[in-house]
Structure formats: structure tokens, C-alpha cells
Structure 1
Amino acid sequence: MEDLRNSSLRFFSDQELCYADILSPAQARARIEVSVLNFLKILNASNPAISDLPLIERKLSNSRVSHDVLTELSSVFLSHSASTRSLMRSNAARAFVRVWKVMEMCNQILLQEKRVTQRELYYKLLCDSSDLFPSQTDVNRSIQDVVALLRCSRYSLGIMASSRGLIAGRLLLQEPGKDVVDCSVSGSSGHVISGDLNLLENLVLKTDARYLIIVEKHAIFQRLAEDRIFHQIPSILITAKGYPDMATRFLLHRLSLAFPDLAILALVDWNPAGLAILCTFKFGSVGMGLEAYRYACNVKWLGLRADDLHLLPEESLVPLKPKDLQIAKSLMSSEILQDKHKEELALMVQRGRRAEIEALHFNGYDFLGKYLAKKIVQSDYI
């Protein structure tokens, strides 16, 4: 199925679109070595120079939404427009050096046949080059720069996803050679999603669920799992405890391919951040535009939505924060929102209020399950 998606991507989409390859360790090391050799070649030329690094630009202005005609899946992609990291510009010199340092570390990781998380890589770089990498953000951006330069996935570079994700409900998981895990008996804590994408790729999956419900809030996930809502509604529950991490998105994408008839629904807060979380699951993110289509799936918005506000007490609606308005502005300026989502977002800004899922508990702690069942039966999602 993945091969089919890749071929359809190349055949039907705009040739300007750019994406990251999945490479073997040897192939990834070869790309690193070619980059180093090209750099040294320019340095040793008769007119030596330090070349700029041409990176695929990770900005909204360089992104677009590509529609796959076979799967009806929409994903964020980047075009071939490049930005540069230059040693000769004071505001980019440190970022320029960071790219080479992270590539060096990745080469060592691949040589040792290891995999590390971004957090582990941060501490390694902090101890080795603290002046270059004072924060985790510096490491994360440099990893994205290396991906944008080499055009291969971070997993190909030996960087493993850190996972916050949990899953529960009508799903059987089995790692090769290990016992089957029944996610319906994992309790309110759910089953922890591994950060090893290779392991997730090779899981044997079985389900009789009809719905997969993405839950923004960890506490709401726990409530639904404790109430065993998946026996009332034949479903799988999944949460990333807020903004989605790579591993949770990867597993969700895998489930969407393995079970194409599974309706994927999102339960998020009625605020711009909730809609941004939904869009990240649905389209991927601009920052990961080179890899986005491997982490996207066709998610529908179940709730909370404007027509649910009558279920909540007025006192539970709190003012939008400046960050909410900033997120709303960014979403409105993108091409990814469909009209109904834009209408919801415009209404949030117009009212200047936000609502959280927990406010539904005003109607009783067993109300949330009834709410979901009614919305699903009425096919009340967009």
C-alpha cells in the first residue's frame, strides 16, 4: 500500500512537490558523506569558498496541500524552494555549524547501528558542544535542517520518536515473535505507544472496531477508557496528550492504511489550539512538510463544535488568550482549512470565547459517553 501511495504521489501530484525518502543506514550515510565531500571540494577549489547550505524552506509560504486521488487523503507538502544557512551571515552562522554537528552525530549513530531520541541527542550535544546547543529547540531545528538538506526522514538518520501516546479499545497488537496485546484490557492508563517506528511498522494489527476516536486530553482519554466506552461504541481510543507526537501520528496513519473503512474522529477543545491539533493529525505540519504525508490521515471533527455549546454552562466559556488568536490567524492564512472548519474558527474569534471538553461533565460524569454515541449515530462530524 505504501508503494502504491508513493507511485500515485509521483504520478498524480505536482512535480514541484518535495518529500523525504526512507533510506537504509548505508544509504543515509552515503548522503551524509556526499554532502561532506561536496563541501570539502568547494573549500579545496582554486578559488576556495564556503558554500551556503540549500535547505528546503519550511514556511507556510512554501507549503501547499496535496490531494491523493487514490485514498482521498490530503497532506501538507513543501515545494523545492530553498532557504540557506550561511557561515558568512552572523545571524545564520551558528545554525550553519549546528547542521554539520548534527550530521556528524547521525553518522556515528548509524555506524553504531543505534537509534536515539531527540532528547537523548540533545544531552549528547549539550555535553559535547554546549555553546552551540543550549536548548532542545536548537537540536530539534537542526534535525529538521538536516532532513531538509539530505531529504531523508529523521528515522533514516537513526533518530527515534519520543512518544507520549496511549491507545485503548478494540485492538489487538502483536510484535513479531511476542505475545498479543489486547488494548481493551489495558485499563484507564491505556497501552503505551512505542517510539520505535520500525516496531510500529511491523506490528500485526487486528480490530473489529468501526471508529477510531482521537482524544486531545489525557484526562478525557482516561475517563473514556475507564468507562470502557469502546464496548458501547465499537471503537479504538488514542491520545497524544495534547499536540501530537510523531509516533502517535505514525501509528494512526498505519491504522488508517490497515483498516481503510475505520472512521477516524477527533474530540478536541473548541478553541484554535484544538483545531490546530486536529489539522496536524489530518494534514501533517509545515515543519515536517518533507515527511508529512507519512503522518497524516483523514480525520473528521466530532466535537466540541459550536452546536455543542448549548450543552455547556455559560460560566465554562472562558476568554480566548492572545496565543489562541495567534493560532487562529495562522490557520486562517493557510490553505488547509475546509469551509466548515473556517466557519467554526471565525465563530470562536467572533465570540472571543473557548470551551473545553471537561465542561461536558456539568451534565454528569457519565454524559461524555452519551454525547459521543449521539454524535456518532447522527453522523454529526465534519
Structure 2
Amino acid sequence: MRENDAKAFVRVWKVMEMCYKILGEGKLVTQRELFYKLLSDSPKYFSCQRHVNQTIQDVVSLLRCTRQSLGIMASSRGALIGRLVLHEPEEEHIDCSILGPSGHAITGDLNQLSRLNLSSDARYLIVVEKRLAEDRLYNQIPCILITAKGYPDIATRFILHRLSQTFPNMPIFALVDWNPAGLSILCTYKYGSISMGLESYRYACNVKWLGLRGDDLQLIPQSAFQELKPRDLQIAKSLLSSKFLQDTHRAELTRMVETGTRAEIEALYCHGFDFLGKFIARKIVQGDYI
């Protein structure tokens, strides 16, 4: 057995041993917290966060379980705002429509998220790549806004999936930048993340691409377009090789690569700070999504 393979084998047992201790103590830890503990106890095998992340994925695949069942809690950057009330047993309810612009922070504890009772009079679920709460969009359109502020973490995907199961007739729309990273974010919500192994598809949702799309680019001034970066092209290459990418998404991505340009949602503000709400409402009413 090669040295690297032997170390990977030992790492699996070290992580399982640590998870056994965590569960025995009834605790939950993040992957970062687990890394520092393993770095202290077994520096020979865990010299970087990547070793821990990969080993956790191996353990999840080996045991066919979730991270949460191992006592590993998701780190979350996500937030919710809009026409949604959260009820946790024996706790005060949280009305997400009267919160400040940062919304309600999504906990990384999936057990806590699973205990929430959800009530809403919204008609739409809108996933946004960035924070748009300052627009008070949900006052213009009866909706719930959810964001992971970038690539979605497990906790944000989990609560989106719970919302989709609780309100099955509520369509889910995504508003992302017109660039390969924006499409990659949408695809993670829609299909899951390959890096999550067996957990990849667990929280997949039927997300429709509302914007930005090629047909919306006429609304953006030429000066607002940016050149694709090497990282964009790398993401595009990976997406184009995916068998899951639907034809309409592939066509959009191909157009990005061929033009070598990208555009951000914020570019729409050139029409005024109230334009975004009108833009979203028009596209929903006209059924302009894919």
C-alpha cells in the first residue's frame, strides 16, 4: 500500500473515532472545529482542512449516512427574509417579514431546522445569489427570499428543500449573475454538489432560472459588462462536461463563453433602485424563466 493511501485509510478511522466521541458527548461540531481537534491530536495525518473535508466525505460514503448523523454541523452563511413565519417548539415565533435587511440567519444545525414549523402566505420562493433584502422585494411580490451569499452550503440547501416540501405548489426561482459561477450556483441548488458525495442529491430542488439570462442583457449598458476571468472559464468547462446540464442552460453558458463577457445583477440598478422588483415581477407574470 502506498504511503498516501495508507494515510487516507488511517484518516478514515481517526475521523470515525472522533465522531464516536462527539456523538457520545451529545455534541455537534463544525468541520473547522473538527480540523483543529484532529490537528492537535493527529498532526501527522491532518495537516490541512482539505484532509478533514475529504475524509468526512469518505466516511459519509462508507457508512451511507449524513454529516449530521456523525455529529458534524454545517457551517452556514445563509439567510431568510420575507413572507415566512418560523415556529420552533417552546420558542417565540420569528416573523421574517419584519426583520432588518440582513434577514434571519440560517443555523447550521440541521436537527434544529428540521424541528421548525413553517407558515407562509407567499406565492413564490426566490433564491438570490447575493443579499437583496434592502429592496423589500417581498412587499412588492408575495415571496420568500433565501440566499447563501454565494455557493450554497448544506444548511441553506436543507431549508430550501424543507420549504419546497412544505409548500409544494410554491415555485422556486433563482436570480443569479450572468456568468458561469452564477449558473454553477443555480445548478447546485437544482442538482446538488458532486463534492458532497452521497449527500449530493439529497436536497435538490426544482429551481427555475429567472435571471439574469441572455434575453435580459439588452437592459444592461455596455459599460457594465466585464470580461470572463480564467476562473470563469474553468467553471464553464466543468459545467459543459456535465451530463446534467439542460439544453437551455448549456446554450446560455455557451453564449457566455463565446462572447467572453459576464454581467452582474446589480447592473440593473442603472434603471433606478426600484427597477429590480419590477423586473422580477414582469418575468414571473410573463412566465419568462427556464
Q: Match for residue 136 of structure 2?
A: 228
Look up the SS of the partner of 1:365 in the other structure.
Answer: coil
Q: Show the counterpart of 1:212.
A: 125
Partner of 1:351: 259
Counterpart residue number, 1:194: 107
* 1:130 CA drift (Å): 2.4
Residue 295 of structure 1 and its aligned partner are, at CA, apart by 1.4
Task: State the Cα distance separating 1:134 from its structure 2 match.
Answer: 2.0
Give aligned-pair identity as a percent.
Answer: 68
- What amino acid maps onto 1:322 in structure 2? P
Mapped to 1, the partners of 2:56 and 2:145 lie a distance apart of 31
Partner of 2:54: 141
Is 1:299 aligned with 2:212? no
Distance 1:129 1:90 in 2: 16
Post-superposition Cα deviations, 1:201-256, rounded to whole Å, max 9, x if no partner, equal: 110000011111101013xx2xxx22321021000000001000000000000000
Please give the alpha-carbon distance, in whole angstroms, between the structure 2 residues aligned to 1:264 and 1:134.
41
Unaligned runs of 5+ in 2: none
Matches of 2:118 and 2:207, distance apart in 1: 20
Q: Is the 8 A contact 2:76 2:106 kept in 1?
A: yes
Structure-1 separation of matches of 2:29 and 2:207: 30
In structure 2, which of residues 66, 76, 79 is the aligned counterpart of residue 163 of structure 1?
76
Q: Does the residue aligned with 2:54 lie in a helix, a strand or coil? A: helix
Find the counterpart in structure 2 of residue 103 from structure 1.
16
Alignment partner of 1:275 out of 183, 186, 211 = 183
Q: Is structure 2 residue 287 aligned with structure 1 residue 374?
A: no
Please tell me the root mean square deviation across aligned C-alpha atoms, in Å: 1.1
Distance 1:233 1:334 in 2: 34
Q: Which residue of 1 aligns with 2:160?
A: 252
Asked whether the equivalents of residues 129 and 182 of structure 2 are also in contact (C-alpha less than 8 Å), the reply is yes
Please state how far the C-alpha of 1:304 moved relative to its aligned partner.
0.4
Q: Secondary structure at the match of 2:215?
A: helix
1:153 aligns with 2:66: yes
Q: Secondary structure at the match of 1:185?
A: coil
> What is the identity, as a one-letter code, of the residue corresponding to 2:246?
Q
Q: How many residues align?
A: 290
Q: Deviations over 1:154-203 (max 9, x none)?
A: 11111111111000000000111111100001120100111110111110
Distance across 2 between alignment mates of 1:130 and 1:358: 45
State the AA in 1 paired with 2:30.
Answer: T
1:363 offset after TM fit, Å? Answer: 1.5
5+ unaligned residues in a row in structure 1: which ranges? Answer: 1-87
CA distance in 2, matches of 1:227, 1:314: 24
SS in 2 for 1:293: coil
Aligned to 1:307, the other structure's residue is in SS state: helix
Q: TM-score, normalised to structure 1's length?
A: 0.74
- Report SS of the residue matched to 2:4: coil
Q: Secondary structure at the match of 2:145?
A: strand
Q: Deviations over 1:236-282 (max 9, x none)?
A: 00000100000000000000000001110000010111101000000
Alignment partners' CA distance in 2, 1:294 and 1:171:
23
Amino acid at match of 2:216: D
**Residue pairs, 1:71-110, within 5 angstroms:** 88-110=1-23
Contact 2:193/2:201 (CA < 8 Å) preserved in 1?
Answer: no
Structure 1 moving runs of 4+ over 3 Å = none
- Calculate the TM-score normalised by the size of structure 2: 0.97
2:38 maps to 125
Matched AA of 2:262: R
In structure 2, what is the Cα distance between the partners aligned to 1:184 and 1:165? 16
Task: Choose from 150, 154, 157 the match for 1:242.
Answer: 150
